[in-house]
Amino acid sequence: MQLGTGKLITLAAMLPLYWSGSLQAATVYEEAQVLSSTPIYRVVESSTPSQECWEEEVVREAGYRDQRSATPGILGAVIGGALGNAAGHHKRNQQVGTVVGAILGGSIGRDIGSANASRQAEYVDVVERCRTVHNVQQQEKLIGYDVRYSYNGLEQTVRLPDDPGTTLRVRVDIQPVQ
């Protein structure tokens, strides 16, 4: 039975082939000629995360306690007292010179200790910083084929997932007219 070649087959000739007590539809398969097959692409984006790191200098304050050492003040007082004592010529002058020298020496020692502590209050540290970067890539993805075909002189178009080649199998439904 050749339906696609232009031969006219009457329903009466087909009935004995598909007869089962009542009239019903028949399905046959034929080959249609492919006129064109055009690939269809879609642009697809994909994102890949990656780490981007760099080094950065950061100024930090030292985490020292405010309990400064008493050593510079004591040492300054002792040295100042000794100098004041040595500078005085009489006993009374020596006592006054010792007290004044101790006070001035203690003050100078405290200032030196404070200056050293403030110099150590800040330092530069190198730290590594990182962040996540998304690398976006675009690529074309084949999503199917627009196929134009001809069957019995009638042109049709259909989208298929694969390229059919030179012919396309089509289903032909034959239904009796009542």
3-state SS, the chain, equals CCCCCCCCCCHHHHHHHHCCCCCCCEEEEEEEEEEEEEEEEEEEEEEEEEEEEEEEEEEEECCCCCCCCCHHHHHHHHHHHHHHHHHCCCHHHHHHHHHHHHHHHHHHHHHHHHHHHHHCCEEEEEEEEEEEEEEEEEEEEEEEEEEEEEECCEEEEEEECCCCCCEEEEEEEECCCC
**What is the predicted pLDDT for the residue at 119?**
54
pLDDT confidence band for 174 (50 / 70 / 90): confident
**What is the predicted pLDDT for the residue at 90?**
63
The domain of 93 spans 66-120
Please report whether residue 156 resides in a domain: no
Tokens, residue 95: 């006592």
**What is the predicted pLDDT for the residue at 22?**
55
Please report whether residue 38 resides in a domain: no
Considering only CA atoms, which of 69, 62, 63 is closest in space to residue 114? 69
Please report whether residue 56 resides in a domain: no
Number of domains in the chain: 1
Contact 130, 51 (CB under 8 A): yes
Please report whether residue 106 resides in a domain: yes
**What is the predicted pLDDT for the residue at 68?**
60
Tokens, residue 35: 């006129």
The residue among 108 and 172 whose pLDDT is bigger is 172
**What is the predicted pLDDT for the residue at 19?**
45
Q: Fill in the amino acid letter for 172.
A: V
Tokens 């001809």 sit on residue? 150
Please report whether residue 111 resides in a domain: yes
**What is the predicted pLDDT for the residue at 111?**
72
Average pLDDT, rounded, for the chain: 77
Please report whether residue 16 resides in a domain: no
pLDDT confidence band for 109 (50 / 70 / 90): confident
Max alpha carbon distance in the chain (Å)?
A: 154
**What is the predicted pLDDT for the residue at 151?**
93
Tokens, residue 72: 């510079």
Angle made by CA atoms 49, 50, 52, in degrees to the nearest 5:
140
Please report whether residue 73 resides in a domain: yes
| pLDDT at residue 23 tops 90 | no
Please report whether residue 82 resides in a domain: yes
The mean per-residue pLDDT over the stretch 69-76 comes to 68
